[in-house]
Structure 1
């Protein structure tokens, strides 16, 4: 709220019949649909269904699709769907790519620290 953004967490988003992201955030200029992932491993695998559900919801809601990922309880990285690597059978976010291409939450919402 202090940055003029509102957000809410969709309880049970993974068990709902329709595609719903974990977090929906926005202000009068932008809307974000955020799927949240955490892992202790160096990589996090995603199914095509994970990607398709976020794309579908985002398209219908007029939101930007983002994945927020945290490796081993460290900082959060936010990645646009286009930055997620597609493999032969699924998608993968690896720590190296997240560190290189991922944004902080402040960068995603347009607040840059000095």
Structure 2
């Protein structure tokens, strides 16, 4: 079990959750799934430039954390569909807020990076 209350302690449970939702692919997967269930290839194509192995690992972690469900249909070939759980859906608002912030500030960030790079 993880300790709570000190985000700067690597054993803090809240920090573990923040690490998960802040990883490279989680936010993109959750935001894609907000419109409904998707197959693996739809997720991969929607995210773009993610290795299948990495996306599989991300989806397994999200399933383990209770944020995503994985449903396998007995068809040939088997069809697998991923969907957000209610807890996963609760991430949409904060992730949308962060996404909107990024869109709003991308030009300022690019300018700051160019200025910094010109001085280094």
Q: Higher helix share goes to which structure?
A: 2
Instruction: Say yes or no: TM over 0.5.
Output: no
Q: Higher strand share goes to which structure?
A: 1
Shorter-normalised TM range = under 0.3
Query: Normalising to structure 1: TM-score of the pair?
Result: 0.26
Which structure has the larger Rg over C-alpha atoms?
Answer: 2
